[in-house]
Structure 1
């Protein structure tokens, strides 16, 4: 691990008070890979760099398009047609925090060998389709590297998380009946419980083990019915979940001019119905307005939505590194029209 200097302790004082010295130490020692410097990718990079990350690699082979100027604050009109990771862009990122070791790569991520990925502690992908997620998931799982994927479509978005196996400590209020080790459900297990007292407040320090499902298996053996055991509860699931999973079946539009992207409501409905069948949600009413909205906004990057999702993802990365909270397990859905952001385990 990289030791924090006196200057870094002073610089990160506020966040050390928030999530602890040990968590900041882990953040400072971590090497994170961000694939695709999209609108949401730029927000994630900003959060991680300002948060005191030690090492950051960004890979993107694309060029800056006119549509990128409205969403990515590291770009301006003088950079149109340049690489998204032009030296000027890297300098602007580095200005946020000179202490972070930043590497940019303009190659295609799919061409990299498995050995290249082995240096990273976390992989974060933005604007991926299902085929790409399956590919990167095979790599991350084989190397035991936690994986985050975030996609946005205008006012809608999602975060998929696969930490494989992850342990964390939860500080829970003491009950009259002491919590006992054991499985609480198929994805979470209490491994150890220790009673503690701090400032005359008694609590239970619980070591929790979280288990994650790889992307290629979430539709094979979905867990929704475990957490929504009755038809009444299943029918309360937001149909945005089905629609956004359906979007993954459509090849990504990232690095393509948005004017060339054509997704119809009927095309999206076909994929959404396929997802609904696999998840056992055929009785769920697919909201026609959501289908129409997402089809029209497919691939659009809206900066406020990107900021919200990037904030959630960055905080989850900190939770994961600090081992003090339960990270997302395993799918967060954002519906900007409803201002709702439920988390589902599938």
Structure 2
């Protein structure tokens, strides 16, 4: 990735965040080309935040049409957007967020894209896709040193999952200079501390029942946050039925989710009689709740900024938004 010095216009526009994370990080962001797969409720929040950060370009890949439900939860759409291609309909408001970013709409189906399509990006952000396509993209990303992060919102539950491969980063740590004092108080120095995180392939993280994936290491793993199993159940539901759980099929979908959860518990050796992840949780996982999209969209966009700028410690490798307490949990899986 080639970074060019910021222009005077860019330096003025991004002045506040340059003060926050530095000119070097901003120049890395300004050189980044981002692919966003699907721009629904969550995707619109991710797009907003990464556009405001000052990337070079954003390509929006989404073959969907605007429905009334999509229009209500996506602030980038208007009342005139119904039945039109969603990727094109978000362009006007998205571009207004940051005129300096190049934004492109692509209305092809993500599954129809040739592998070479994905190779031109710095980082790929995926929402709302099935696991087979996600693993295919992850394999491409690993072969071309491209960062990948995915996430979804189901009702009041949300998650993100990252594969930044071998990711080096630095963070500024403030240290007090002993007992020596200046007129302004204790003297402070800022140290640039470096670190490395090794992320696993996603096929070592997303392991489901009745697949050819090797789950031996998973079965031996430590007891983990049970929201991880909720994440797997919801992803597996989409894999099986090609859609998210729907209120219009609520009773049937809850039964399907109960069965999927039982299979996942068996695979991961979870005692369902002792689990806090009861079937009641499935009453609150329908649709995309806008405030949750805003929270998770901010988290994912922040991880994009960390991945591109190599500044600050990113999440390794899963973020889980608790649908009951509304707080975030970090989980490391597959390492």
TM-score by length of 1: 0.82
1:323 equivalent among 289, 292, 310? 310
Map of 1:56 onto structure 2 = 58
Aligned CA-pair RMSD: 2.6
Contact between 2:50 and 2:304, CA under 8 Å: does it hold in 1? no
Q: Quote the Cα distance in structure 1 between the aligned partners of 2:110 and 2:99.
A: 26
Equivalences for 1:139-154 in 2 at 5 Å? 139-154=140-155
C-alpha distance 209-309 of structure 1, shift in aligned 2 (>3 A): same
Unaligned runs of 5+ in 2: 177-185, 208-214
Map of 1:194 onto structure 2 = none
Asked whether 1:306 is paired with 2:298, we answer no
Map of 2:196 onto structure 1 = 209
3-state SS, counterpart of residue 251 of structure 1 = helix
3-state SS, counterpart of residue 249 of structure 1 = helix
Q: How far 1:324 moved relative to its partner?
A: 2.2
Equivalences for 1:159-170 in 2 at 5 Å? 159-170=160-171
Q: How far 1:280 moved relative to its partner?
A: 4.4
Asked whether 1:274 is paired with 2:275, we answer no
Equivalences for 1:20-59 in 2 at 5 Å? 20-59=22-61
3-state SS, counterpart of residue 77 of structure 2 = coil
Map of 1:4 onto structure 2 = 6
Contact between 1:149 and 1:160, CA under 8 Å: does it hold in 2? yes
Map of 2:179 onto structure 1 = none
Which stretch shows the higher mean deviation, 34-43 or 321-330?
321-330
3-state SS, counterpart of residue 170 of structure 1 = strand
Q: Quote the Cα distance in structure 2 between the aligned partners of 1:251 and 1:339.
A: 24
C-alpha distance 76-345 of structure 1, shift in aligned 2 (>3 A): same
Q: How far 1:171 moved relative to its partner?
A: 3.7
Aligned length: 311
Map of 2:226 onto structure 1 = 239
Contact between 1:305 and 1:336, CA under 8 Å: does it hold in 2? no
3-state SS, counterpart of residue 2 of structure 1 = coil
Unaligned runs of 5+ in 1: 176-198, 229-233
Contact between 1:33 and 1:58, CA under 8 Å: does it hold in 2? yes
Which stretch shows the higher mean deviation, 7-16 or 262-271?
262-271
Map of 1:188 onto structure 2 = none
3-state SS, counterpart of residue 342 of structure 1 = strand
Asked whether 1:119 is paired with 2:106, we answer no
C-alpha distance 224-102 of structure 1, shift in aligned 2 (>3 A): farther
2:281 equivalent among 291, 298, 304? 291
Q: Quote the Cα distance in structure 2 between the aligned partners of 1:14 and 1:221.
A: 49
